[in-house]
Amino acid sequence: MKKIEAIIRRTKFDDVKDALLEADIEWFSYYDVRGVGKSRQGRIYRGVVYDTSCIERILISIIVRDKNVEKTVSAILKAAKTGEIGD
């Protein structure tokens, strides 16, 4: 048994979920997480300044048998990749 954890963008969650279901991974848990990024910008919305250094992501946690590790990891990598910084 192996535990696989992946931190993905919120916008890619549905794609990863569908890819895992296609790979016959029927159960996993996920959590909303926040991290601190390198770039810091101040954005103003309705007169209030917001700090954008806090990055919202989703943490997926899956426990799989050894024979399913490769197909699980490849499904996550294919579905979550955007080609941008932060993948």
Q: CATH code at 71?
A: 3.30.70.120
Q: Within a domain: residue 87?
A: no
Q: pLDDT tens digit string along 32-68?
A: 998 877 766 667 777 777 766 778 899 999 999 999 9
Q: Within a domain: residue 42?
A: yes
pLDDT at 1 over 90: yes
Higher per-residue confidence, 5 vs 44: 5
Domain count, the chain: 1
Q: What is the DSSP letter of 48?
A: E
Cα–Cα distances (Å) from 48 to 38, 39, 42, 66, in that order, read 22, 19, 10, 50
- Sign of the C-alpha dihedral, residues 22, 24, 27, 31? negative
Q: For residue 47, what are the domain limits?
A: 2-80
